[in-house]
Each structure stands twice: as C-alpha cells, then as structure tokens.
Chains A and B, each alone.
Chain A
Amino acid sequence: MSEASGAVHSVQAVQQELGADVASMQAPGQELAGQRIELSLRPRDGAELASCLRALSEHEQPVVVTGGCTRMGLGNRLGDVAGVLSTERLSGIVEFDEQDGVLQAMAGTRVSEVAAAVVARGWELPVDPPGGTTTIGGAIATAATGPRRHHYGPLRRSILGLDVVLASGERTRCGGRVVKNVTGYDLAKLYAGSLGTLGVIESAWLRLRPAPEETRTLVAVFASDASGRAFALGLEAARRDSVRAAALVSGAPAAELGAPTGHAAGCVLVVECAGDPGSVARDADWLVAETGARAVPEEARLLGRLRELQGSGRLRARLAVLPSKLSRTLTPLADAGFGVIVYPGAGFVYAVAEDVENAEALATVDAVASDVCADLLIEAIPDEARGARDVFGDPGAAAPLLRSLKERFDPHRILNPGRGQGFR
C-alpha cells in the first residue's frame, strides 16, 4: 500500500474506472464493521463484479464484502479497507428447475425470497440462518446454520455449484447443477464459510428438499434439576425420523420463548416435527407422552425467534460438541450469565450474552470448551475484549497452509483483510 495521499488517489482511480453506476465515493466519516469506508461498490451483474475486483486488485485497494449485513461481526477483526463491495444488487433467481429440485440464485438474493419462491412449488430451501435480510451469498460465505442443521446438514451439503469471482477479477465456476459430481476439486467446500476471504460469490446452484406435508412445533418445560433428562430427551428427539429441529434453551432466551415465570432457571425443549403425517403424529405423540409437551401454533414463529436468539448477543460463542459431552456445557455457561441454546442433534451449543463481564465470561467459555473438547468459534465479541485472540482458535500446524491458500487466492489481500483464521 502506498502513502495516505497515494491511497486516496487510488480509491478515486477505482471509482473513476468503474463509473458512477457501480462505484461511489462515500461522505466522510462513514464506517462499517469498525472501519472507515471511502468507496462503495455495488455491481449489478457478474461482469461488473469482475470489473470491481480487477480494479481493486490493480490499485491494491482492500474492501469489506457484504451481503445482507446481518453478521458483520463474524471472523477476526477487519483490517484497513478502502471501501465496501456489496452484493445486494446481484439479485434474483436465475433458474428454478422444479422437476429436478435444484435452483440457481444470484448471491445477493435474500434467503427469505428464495425460500418463499420454492415452497410455493412444493420444495424447501435447506438453509435456515439467523437474520431476516441474510442473502444466499452471505449465508454461504458464513456457512450459516440454524435450528434445522441436524436435519439439513451443514449448508455446504446443499451447495451444488458456485460462480465465484476471484480477487484477480477472474470469473470462475466450480461444481455444477447436478446432485452428484466429482468433476474437479470441490472448491465450493473451501469457499463456504471462508467469509469472503478467498473470492466473492456471484451465484450459487442449490439442492432443494421436498417441502414437508405437515409440520408441528412442540414445547416442553423442564425444572432446573431436570436438565439431564431434558438433554437425554432432546438427543433422542433429534434422532427420530420426523424431527427436523430440536433445541434446548436455558436462561434469558428461555424466558423469551415463553418459559413460565419460575421456570426461568430451568430449560425449554423446542421440537419441530415435519414430514409425512404418519411419522409426524408418531413422533409428536411420543414427545407429548414423555414430556407433557404442548403444541405451539405456526403463528408463534417459535423457530424464527429461536434463530434470532441464536444470532443475538454482544458476546456470542458457538461450541461444537460430541453428543455424549453436551450435558456438561449448560450449567457452567448459564451460571456465568449466558443464555444457552443447545441443538443436540447438531451438537451445537450457542452461548449468548448482552451484558456480562467479558473477560470472566470468556474464561468460562474457554474452560467449558476445553472440558468437552469443543470446537470453539467466537461469533461476536466486543472490541475491548478481543485482544489478540483468533476467534476461530489457534490454527496450529495448519497455519502455513491457511496462509498459503490466502496468498494464492488473494495475493494483494484485497478481500476482507484480516478476517480469516490465521490470516493476520
């Protein structure tokens, strides 16, 4: 990077090269993800996206890449950037093959828009991220996941192919539109969850699932001394055929989900059964018999609220834990002031807090993660608590490989500098 005056010149050069339709200078003082933003790039199609990246590479101007801006805090602290590259105008469903149950959408298309379009045709988009404005590209870049993960699998499983523009401006494709494919390296796996640090997703082919014939949501409340039983039931529920979401919720989020007063210290089990009427009835009846669970009407949007809770908190940690160790996580995290959401089927524990003593709370998270050998991901962390911490954890022996990947895909470090694991 050149001197400050040179950098300003380069930002303007990028803007002039791309023209006002795509690039605009920002008013002084604009900030995004804690960084000052001078330039805003809003390409309308893949060719413009490629032009943007080519210009940014030539002038060595780094950018933060955004979709729906729902989870800007993910990843390590963003380094200095000159501008923002938004994918929001790369929008729309390109092709929807109803017979085959596959769909191609531009990166900036909202997940909610795609979900609504396919459900009307008997299909379901197996992506249920937190954040109402989440885009397809953003969900993929962040490997977004929600309460139905144990049923849908990780998002990468539903990605058939990606069009990705590399930092150099080259437009590339990996995978395809078919449901089984080993043609070429599986780069889509590498891009999914890479937080836009290796390339910018232009569009995606996704595999849909048949929409369930019937859906039922049930809630059971457990007293604090019954959390062991709640875990056992949650895990058993998650392993039944029609159960596509099972969540055990404790602390403040439990109260928000309607745990009666007095039970706030206990936990709530939320279960969604979906599929053919026979198996839904069987599993729902089982749950009612075991727990006295009650059905919750669709309008209560219980899973939607669960998703929002999962994505909330100034301090938020995700622990991936083997099922046998899950039950050891709840009490210490709740005692430290966290709201806790456990997805037993996926083995995910979310600890969310708005207002805690950060250092102490982080120490608890680290201790619990270590105790249960969890894969720890700090999803949100106040800047004052961040320090030198790599939110993905120490990459250890993989560090040179991660650096090598970044260097080869983004040699000028123009894409979300600093964000990725071990990239700092």
Chain B
Amino acid sequence: MSTPDPSPHAAEGSLPGSGGDALAARLRAIVGSDGLLVRDDELFVYECDGLTLEACRPTAVVLPETTAQVAAVVRACRAAGVPFVPRGAGTGLSGGAHPVPGSVVIECSRMKKILAVDAENRTAVVQPGVVNADLSDAIQHLGLFYAPDPSSQLACTIGGNVAENSGGPHTLKYGATTDHVLAVEVVMPDGEILRLGSPTGAASGLDLVGAFVGSEGTLGIATEVTVRLTALPEAIETLLVIFPDVVTACRAVGEVIGTGLVPAAMEILDQRTIAAVEDSVYAAGLPRDAGAVLICELDGAAVSLDPQVERIREIARANQASDVRVAEDETQRAQFWKARKGAFGAMGRLAPDLYVHDAVVPRAKLPEVIAQVCEIADRHRLRLSNVFHAGDGNLHPNISFDRRDEDELGRVIQAGGEILAACVAAGGVITGEHGVGVEKRDYLPLVFSEADLDAMRRLRAAFDPDLVCNPGKAFPTTRFCAESNPKARGYDQVPFE
C-alpha cells in the first residue's frame, strides 16, 4: 500500500487500512514529516532485514530521535491497535526486524548519540542507534574498547545488539552482549518508560536486564543503553595456522580448549572460504592450497603470551598443521582479520544468494559435526563454505545458491533443517548469536518442549501481555506473510499463546 486506506468508515483504533490515516497523522505529529515513511518506494527497504528469503511490507516506518518520541509512537500504535516492530540497522540474519502485516516499524537509527563516557568507571551511555564500531573508535584514545564485535560491527547498532544478544569472534574470551550491558532504558510495550539495571551492574532484585537482553525486541524497545567498557589488552599475538582440512583444524581447537588456554578468539575458514576471500578485495595472502586456516588471537599481559604462543604451536604441529604464522605487526594482524571479517562479503561473489546459518555444538564435538555438515551439503548438491567461531563451537555453515532456482532453494531449506538437527543431536542448539527471529521459530521444538516454551511465554506476557511488540518472532507460529491480509487477520490472533 502506498498510503493508508482512506476508507470513510474508518474509526480511530481500527487496523491500518481502515483507520490508517488517523494513525499516520498522529505519527506525523510525533516525529514530523521528516521522520515518517509511508510511500511504497520508501517502505520497500524495510520489507526484511539480513534474512531476505521472506519479506513483508510495513504500513509505515517511523524514525524517532528521542525516548519520548519512541514512547509516544508506541502509545499511538497501541491506541490504533497496530503492532510495532523495533529495528536497528537491519543487519540481523534471523528476521528479527521483519515487519508483520499492518505493522509500524520503529527504526532507531537516528538515535545515535554517545551520551556519556566515564573512563574512570569504564562505562558509557549510548542511544540505541550508535553503530557498534563507532563506540570502540570513540573511546580508543582512552585505552578502552567495547568488547562485543559482530562481523557486521561497521553497520549494526548497539540497540540491535542488545535485542539479539550479539556475539562475535572475541566472545570466546570477553563474552556476548549480555555480559557488557549494565542498564537499559526501555519503552515498554504499553508506552511506559522503565529503567532496568544500574551502572554498577549489580542492581538489587531480579535481573531484568539479563532477561531483556537477547529478547529479540519482543519485550520492549531499548532507548538508552549503559554498557561496560573494557581495557585494551597490553599485548596481542595473532596467529594464522594452516591445516590440511577443516576437521583437523577443529580437532586442534578442541585440544586448545581442553588444555585450558583461553584465547581471545579462534576462527576457522575452510578451503572454499579461503578461495572466495583470495578472489575478493579482502585478499590477505591466505594459502590457496590450505584445507583450512585457523586465526587464533591471544591477548593479555605481555609476559604471559610467549608461552601461550608456544603451546598453540605444539598443539598445531601435533595436529598436522603445515605452518604457524605469527603476525609480525599491526598491519599483518589487520590483514588476517580483514580476511575473516570480509569472508561473508567475499562469498557474495560465489552466487546470487547466501544463506548464513548459525548453530552451536559442544566444542569437543566440532570435528564430527563439521564432517556431518559437509556430508549434508554434498548430499543435497549445495555449495557450502564454513567460516566460524570455532573456539565457541559456533558454526556458520554458509550455503551459496540462487533463489530463482526453486529446486535449489528447496534443497537449501531442507539441508538447513538437517544441519540444525545434527547440531542438536550432538548436544548443541539452533542459534548462538543470530537469534531465533522468524527464521528459526519453527525449529525451536528441536530444542525446547512445550513446557519450556511456555515458561518463556510467561516472561513475554509479563512484559507484553497483548503481544504487540515485535510479534511473530522467537516463538513457534504459523507463517505470517503466507496469509497476509491484515484486514482479515488481526495481529492479536497471532497464535503464539
């Protein structure tokens, strides 16, 4: 729809399409014409996020700049009986920011101020639209950084990271977003503004911040986030280890963990990923004949690192590594990481579409599961490449395909389900950092019983009893856009209760 349905019978409070004009006017009064998108060509880009296999156009997109505006927008949506969908940069890969029929998208990208940096206490207060990497850049001169580092950190926002409990390569040592959020100001699904947590990170009573982080935008909208900052390490050593194949590389990683070393990051790139990277602008001089490479980063006190490098060397040699290269300077280190962080971009060259999977297994099970994953892809005649957070057991099997080939698309979906099932059978879970979103909601029963999900629904209902805040995510449900007639189907009938 290009403009809300101007039906003369529309009463305020009815769904968009009937009372949409009234809602649009109210939203415009809150955020101004400049902050409201309703034209088809403007809404087009909001049909999906990084998960592009499904799409659904929202009724409107608002771009608030203050907490008060977010709260007013939420109240206006409530009054109009319209569901709303929070959105950061839209880089999420599980469809956490996918609109539902008739919904209003609340994009926080204009709330991008770093409000305060307290170097002495190592905290910062930021608006949700601050880009992840911008925060670390802004505090680097203080000897500090913001530890969670998703691969999309040049674009993704802190608010989106909070919603998804985002991880990244350095999660292995430093933890995921949840370990770095001290307090959150939340616009609740009823439009009230609530402050959860405390800058000390030890608010008394229930840990509502812990419950909120990673709730995929379903419990409210973070409008201000107090984060913990981390001291830059005194020294860093980055190693590039060359292995004959990916299974062997996984075995070495398991051994490193079992030995009791805690590297800052351990990332594996398989042969196909290496080739893709070397063919792209991210080329880093990786050996094309390697079966797999492991990027292993150690950080901490300078005096501790040499013995650790030596132990990694020993383990690598014992596991058939043909070479261990230690970055000689910051330039070489940056080059190793450029290969890793550019891997997804490089894969864009392989085929029109890329399905980035995300699952976790116990680290000791990595070798057997990665072998299974390769077997599944081969059996379905799919082009698989692996680049993943091996130290956490967090796999990212990536399938290059062409969605116009319906048969291939079907095999991609089928193989994806089999990969998740294999990970769960090995004691793992179906997502380590991308979230459930719409992508994996129907796979949740692989991991959780109805009673488990019901406990989660209790938490949901305490925050959002009417299920209006980012509906259709994080719980099993039927497909939304398959039956996307908002007039025939109220959001309140969404069957996740």
Whether, in the assembled complex, A6 has its beta carbon less than 8 Å from a beta carbon of chain B, the answer is no
Tell me if A309 counts as interface (CB < 8 A to partner B).
Answer: no
Kindly state whether residue A16 has any CB partner on chain B within 8 Å.
Answer: no
CB atoms of A192 and B257 under 8 A apart: no
A193 to B211, CA, bound (A): 12
Which B residues are CB-close (under 8 A) to A166?
Answer: 451, 455
A242 to B434, CA, bound (A): 33
Contact string, A331-362, partner B, CB cutoff 8 A, digits 1/0? 00000000000000011100000000000000
Number of A residues whose C-beta is below 8 Å from B? 77
Chain A residues lying within 8 Å of B444, measured Cβ to Cβ, are 183-184
Given A190-B210, A375-B200, are A176 and B429 also a contact pair (CB < 8 Å)?
Answer: yes
**A265 interface contact, C-beta 8 A:** no
Within 8 A of B (CB), among A394-413: 395, 397-398, 401-402, 404-405, 408-409
Cβ contact within 8 Å between A186 and B211 = yes
| Interface check B351, CB cutoff 8 A | no
Report the minimal beta-carbon distance from A218 to chain B, rounded to whole angstroms. Answer: 17
Name A282's contact: one of B121, B214, B303, B453 (CB within 8 Å).
B303
Q: Are A405 and B428 in contact (CB under 8 A)?
A: no
**B448 close to A (CB within 8 Å):** yes
For B448, list chain A residues within 8 Å (CB).
173, 183-184
Name the residue on A nearest B458 (C-beta): A408
Counting CB contacts under 8 A, is B167 at the interface? yes
Which of chain B's residues 297-335 have a Cβ closer than 8 Å to chain A?
300-301, 303-304, 307-308
A401→B464 CA distance, assembly (Å):
10
Instruction: Please provide the chain B residues from 371 to 399 with a CB less than 8 Å away from any CB of chain A in the complex.
Output: 389, 392-394
Chain B interface, number of residues (Cβ within 8 angstroms): 87
- Interface set, chain A 150-206, CB cutoff 8 A to B: 153-154, 156-157, 164, 166, 170-174, 176-187, 189-190, 192-194, 199
A350 CA / B308 CA spacing, docked (Å): 37
Q: Please state if B214 and A193 are interface contacts (CB–CB under 8 Å).
A: no
Whether a CB of chain A sits under 8 angstroms from the CB of B238 is no
Given A122-B260, A189-B178, A242-B301, residue A375 in contact with residue B198 (CB < 8 A) = yes
Whether B452 is near chain A, meaning CB under 8 Å from some CB there, is yes
| Residues of A contacting B303 in the complex (Cβ-Cβ under 8 angstroms) | 278-279, 282
B215 to chain A, nearest CB (A): 6
**A374 to B: closest C-beta gap in Å:** 7
Name B206's closest neighbour in chain A (CB-CB).
A194
A172 to B452, Cβ gap below 8 A? yes
Which chain A positions have C-beta within 8 A of B101?
Answer: none
Nearest chain B CB to A346 CB, angstrom units: 8
Contact A185 B363 (CB under 8 A): no
B234 touches A178 (CB 8 A): no
Say whether, besides A100-B362, A279-B300, A421-B205, A324 and B121 are in contact (CB < 8 Å): yes
Shortest Cβ distance from residue B490 to the other chain A in the assembled complex, whole angstroms:
23
B137 on interface, CB distance cutoff 8 Å: no
Pairwise interchain contact B194-A186, C-beta atoms closer than 8 A: no
Is B175's CB under 8 angstroms from A157's CB?
A: yes
List chain B residues, Cβ under 8 A from A179. Answer: 360, 363, 392-393
Binary contact track B280-306/A, C-beta < 8 Å → 1, others 0: 000000000000000000001101100
In the complex, what distance in Å separates the CA atom of A182 from the CA atom of B433?
A: 6
A90 within 8 A of B: no
| Stretch of A7-15, A64-72, A315-323 contacting B (4+ beta carbons < 8 Å) | A315-323
Residues of B with C-beta under 8 A to A320? 198, 200-204
- Residues B415-465 near A (CB distance < 8 A): 427-436, 440, 444, 447-449, 451-456, 458-463, 465
Q: Which B residues fall within an 8 A CB radius of A?
A: 118, 120-123, 164-165, 167, 171, 175-176, 178-179, 188, 192, 194-196, 198-211, 213-215, 231, 234, 254, 257-258, 260-262, 300-301, 303-304, 307-308, 360-364, 389, 392-394, 427-436, 440, 444, 447-449, 451-456, 458-463, 465, 474
Of all A-B residue pairs in the complex, the 8 with the closest CB atoms, nearest first, are A189-B210, A210-B260, A421-B205, A320-B202, A99-B364, A320-B200, A278-B303, A241-B301
List 4 additional contacts besides A181-B360, A184-B452; criterion CB under 8 Å.
A186-B211, A190-B207, A194-B206, A320-B200
